[in-house]
Structure 1
Amino acid sequence: MTAPARAGTREWIGLAILALPTLLVSLDVSVMILALPHISVSLGADSAQQLWIMDSYGFLLAGFMVTMGTLGDRIGRRKLLMCGGAGFGLASIAAAFAPTAELLIVARMLLGIAGATIAPSILALITNMFRDERQRGFAISIWMVCFMGGMAIGPLAGGALLERFWWGSVFLMGVPVMLLLLVTAPVLLPEYKAPNAGRIDLASVALSLGALLPTIYGLKEIAKHGPAGVPLLAIAAGIGVGLVFVRRQQHLSDPLLDLALFRNKRFTTAVSAMFGISLTGGTMLFTSQYLQLVVGLSPLEAGLLTLPGVAAMVVMLLATPVLAKRIRPAYLITIALVASLPGVLLLARLDASSGVVPVVIALVLFQAGCAPIVTLSSGIVMSSVVPEKAGSAAAISETCAELGFALGIATFGSLFTFIYRGSVGGALPDGLPTTARAAATDTISGAIEVARTLPTAVGDAVLVAARDAFTHGITVLALACGALIASVATLVWFRLRELPTLGGEATHPAPTSEAADEVVALAS
């Protein structure tokens, strides 16, 4: 069998161009955390509008990803990326100069739709540009480093801009990046589209949005406020529409979502494993709250203490393709996930006096241990399909990760709230006013605010009860997270053991290009 052509200078420069919008899309999520207080004051946004300013981007990003991935297969991935880049730049300008909260929400929605074109297009283009599996593995690692880097530097970059400029400056970061993409993409990036692609089924697009948007909305609302009627109804409606969507795809000759992809064991296992690991992201969010609300650090100090974990993940992301040349993917992923479990156990042992060192060590172990599955699962997904299905495969992978993260936050958040309220209620001192007891029982933030208004001895007792309940909640969540990691490691060990080392010979012969649901090359 002829070895695939290796990428040259043009492809690597093209990867550098693709890295910038990747960095930007992930940065746009995290930077809003710091910008929101400034926006709410400047535009007079009420609490509901603030939630929509934060969440509208993520809703539309996840909701349109499957549609955009399939659209890229039909009209061309470079063309879709350039259209999305232009839209992202224009929407960024609109957001920066929005005079009202309502217009800012609309701009954020447009940013989400434009952002949905970027991630699947980039991953599909990387697959087309880097046909050599070793080079592809390293290229995907670079892509993931940029994605994680954007999440890490977003608060830092946003903080620096907000100290010197108005809140709209955080949106203008994207404009020069997208201009550079539009100028260089026609020269450096190849165009690719499915040769016999049919037309987009608009009914399927509507059904996919009707399935994803209510489900994501319900999950996010449950994470914020706990289970309630409206979010649960939204999730039920989303599931119902999703079933109709699946049934329609089964009867279309050219479906929006090719369900045949899920008949591929490697594809399904990789997507399922990534979904499972994304669920654990909900637990890691509580470590930041622990550092601020229990240890007493500022948001900036807490953010800086998360950087060692990000650095460890970056190192492992870059090292994974090298290690995968000597260690089979299933073994490498399993070993790394098992190595992350001591970090999870450190979180399970936290108490109010533990300090910051166990948290930093736990984040380093956890994030480094999850790096191989992030890199290798993306490679397995992308190389498990023929080139004309790469956009759809990338969209499925990204959507599953987004849904996993949202479901993890909702599930773990609801469990944590239940544990906290059950633990703190009986530990609060007697004689507290009804409103003070209700606030302290609701959240640890409420307990801290209440403690400031009480006599010193009583306030200290409230803080001790709240912090003990909070760390008890982290203990339960960490143990649940550990069980989930062990389950994913077991799944990968038994389902992907036949994958050879990177560059090794496959256990089964490569199929022909006509088999859309079969593997065409080994993932890295």
Structure 2
Amino acid sequence: MRSAPQTSPLRSASPPRAPWRDWLALSLLMFPVLLVAVDNTALTFALPAIASSLDATGVQLLWIVDAYPLVLAGLLVAMGSLGDRIGRRRLLFIGSTGFAAVSAVTAFAPAAEWLIAGRAGLGFFGAMLMPSTLSLIRNIFPQPNRRRLAVAIWAAGFSGGAALGPIFGGWLVEHFWWGAVLLVAVPIILPLLVLGPTLIPESRDPNPGRVDAPSIALSLLAMIPAVYGIKLFATHGVAPEPLAALAAGLAAGYAFVRRQRALAASASATPLLDLGLFANPVFSTAITANVLALFSYNGFILFLAQHLQLLEGQSPSESGLAMVPALVATVVAGLLVVPLVRRVRPGFVVAGGLLLSAAGYAVVALGDHSGGPGLLLGALLVLCLGVGAAETISNDLILGAAPAAKSGAASAISETGYEVGSLLGTAILGSILTASYQRNLQLPAGLAGAPSNATAQAGETLAGASELAQALPAPLAEAVMTAARAAFDSGVHITAAIAFALMAGAAVLAGVVLRKVPTAA
């Protein structure tokens, strides 16, 4: 295997840059980060307006949401490796220009089918953005301490954008129209396109090799069915379709791994993904920590959003605002751990962050949820402090463990971990929660006059119970919601206990494997 230099040849051949230029470059990289983060969450609040304006069916609305992450997840590895080959800055500019152009066109989509196609196009160009920003940070900031702070700011931008998305999206839809949520990408990306060529240095793998088209096809055939299967599993449980999709993804993934190993053994070919990265225990454990941190966060948000809106009666925007303090805590924790790792080993910081996430779930597993949202929001705050700390340091460890020449591929693996962790948190914990709710729900007597389909839906989900209660007289409606709350809370207790065990185990793993990583100089 070729040995890779620790800095890009483009950086090493150039005279030293003034530090202020590096930080200005980082500030420009925040624009695509914010764009992707806002886009991930803002569109949710535009769905009712989209359904009304475009006469979209329920299936079409599902694909409007899903088309973007499916294409994005399928192309992350390919795009990260492509950036190593053709230049990460070049790929970032291509992705940013394409993202802005497709957003502008899609904002005026005349039909749901056009909007779905546009969302798929955004996934294609979006896959070029996040790995490029993180890998460019690796090469702009080769010094560990400066890189760690830059990664913390990068993670803070992503968390801040995720928090801003629901508020920003709701405001745009309320004051303009649903297309404004997409059209706003154009002004957000302009500063990068205007100033980036001057301030952001190019970097690439000095010995990239040719792009292997079959590997790209196999990566798509592995990720898209797998991600689709996980999403189906989250909504439909164990059924033939999600199982078939997962099986197809796993089969293609196996073929992808075999091809990468064969290409690595060949003297005349280069693998799309250097599997040797996973042989580094620091790299592999940091990826695992990233996946589980997102697993815990998204699993928590899944049941908290339902609790706030369906049991506490909050509107979507009110529940989004209620979560903002915890999301701000994610940003603060990510920034505070940067000086901390100068005195405490990074592995212990990651383990401590995962333990905080475990503590948040312990509060939920053992607490009483009937006294208002305070306990759950407090638990979310604790969990987010842990996620912010673990994510920042694990991302830095991922970049530090990978050679600079392979930073695009390493960043793509990290981003894929984000997607997989988010989906698994929703799918696994969501399925457990739903199954427990259905098993424990005991609807009151006296529902014989209610529509049978409404009663059946109440037995399936908390949202169904809420809709049924709205059509019933007050005493019976209260009895239905009391039963639904009890069943839902029992599921939350079980889900939280399982998540607690997973997070505690991950903390032990991180503490053991990463314990020898030295503190920052």
User: What TM-score does the superposition give when structure 2 sets the normalisation length?
Assistant: 0.93
Question: How many Å apart are 1:131 and its aligned residue?
Answer: 1.1
Q: State whether structure 2 residue 129 is matched by structure 1 residue 113.
A: no
Aligned AA for 1:275? V
Pair 1:464 & 2:448 matched:
no
Quick check: 1:305 aligned with 2:322?
yes
The runs of at least 4 aligned residues of structure 1 exceeding 6 Å deviation read: 2-7
Partner of 1:495: 513
Q: CA deviation at 1:342?
A: 3.3
Per-residue CA deviations over 1:67-124 (Å, capped at 9, x if unaligned) read 0000000000000000001100111011101111111111111111111000000000
Task: Identify unmatched segments of 5+ residues in structure 2.
Answer: 1-5, 264-268
Q: Which residue of 2 aligns with 1:511?
A: none
Of residues 94, 97, 105, the one that matches 1:86 is: 97
Q: Which moved more, 1:160-169 or 1:142-151?
A: 160-169
- Paired residue for 1:16, among 5, 27, 30? 27
Which one of the candidate residues 356, 379, 383 is aligned to 2:396? Answer: 379
| Deviation of the 1:431 alpha carbon | 4.8
CA distance in 2, matches of 1:403, 1:457: 44
Counterpart in the other structure of 1:507 = none
User: What residue in structure 1 maps to residue 3 of structure 2?
Assistant: none
- The CA RMSD over aligned residues, in Å, is 1.7
1:7-86, aligned counterparts within 5 Å? 8-86=19-97
Q: Deviations over 1:396-455 (max 9, x none)?
A: 11102211211221111111111000000x344355454343121011111111122223
Answer with 268-277 or 463-472: which moved more.
268-277
Shift of residue 6 of structure 1? 8.4
Counterpart selection for 1:228 from 239, 246, 264: 239
* CA distance in structure 2 between the aligned counterparts of 1:134 and 1:157, rounded to whole angstroms: 33
**Alpha-carbon deviation of 1:354?**
2.1
Output the CA distance in 2 between the equivalents of 1:403 and 1:91.
Answer: 25
Partner of 2:215: 204
Given candidates 292, 295, 306, the residue that maps to 1:276 is 292
Counterpart Cα distance in 2 of 1:457 and 1:210: 53
User: How many corresponding residue pairs?
Assistant: 501
1:97 maps to 108
- Identity of paired residues, percent? 43
Query: 2:333 matched to 1:316?
Result: yes
Contact 1:31/1:170, CA 8 A, preserved across alignment: yes
- State the SS of the aligned residue for 2:370: coil
Q: More deviation in 449-458 or 304-313?
A: 449-458
Give the letter aligned to residue 462 of structure 1.
V
Give the equivalent residue in structure 1 for 2:271: 255
Determine if contact 2:173/2:180 at 8 Å carries over to the other structure: yes
Give the Cα separation in 2 of the matches to 1:383 and 1:455.
62
Q: 1:95 to 1:131 in 2, by over 3 A?
A: same
Equivalent-residue separation in structure 1 for 2:17 and 2:38 (angstroms): 31
1:418–1:313 distance in 2 versus 1, CA, 3 Å: same
- 3-state SS of paired residue (2:128): helix
Q: Which residue of 1 aligns with 2:182?
A: 171
Q: Distance in 2 between matches of 1:61 and 1:501?
A: 35
341-350 or 80-89, which deviates more: 341-350
Aligned-partner residue type, residue 282 of structure 2: R
CA distance in 1, matches of 2:341, 2:195: 32
CA distance in 2, matches of 1:92, 1:402: 21
Equivalence for 1:411: 428
CA distance in 1, matches of 2:490, 2:333: 31
Q: Indicate if the aligned counterparts of 1:68 and 1:395 stay in contact, CA closer than 8 A.
A: yes
CA shift, 1:175, in A, is 0.5
The TM-score, its normalising length taken from structure 1, stands at 0.93
Provide the secondary structure at the position in 2 that maps to 1:83: helix
Q: Does 1:440 align with 2:440?
A: no
The residue type paired with residue 67 of structure 2 is: S
Assess if the C-alpha contact under 8 Å between 1:204 and 1:248 holds in 2.
Answer: yes
Q: Is the 8 A contact 1:352 1:468 kept in 2?
A: no
C-alpha distance in 2, partners of 1:365/1:282?
Answer: 15
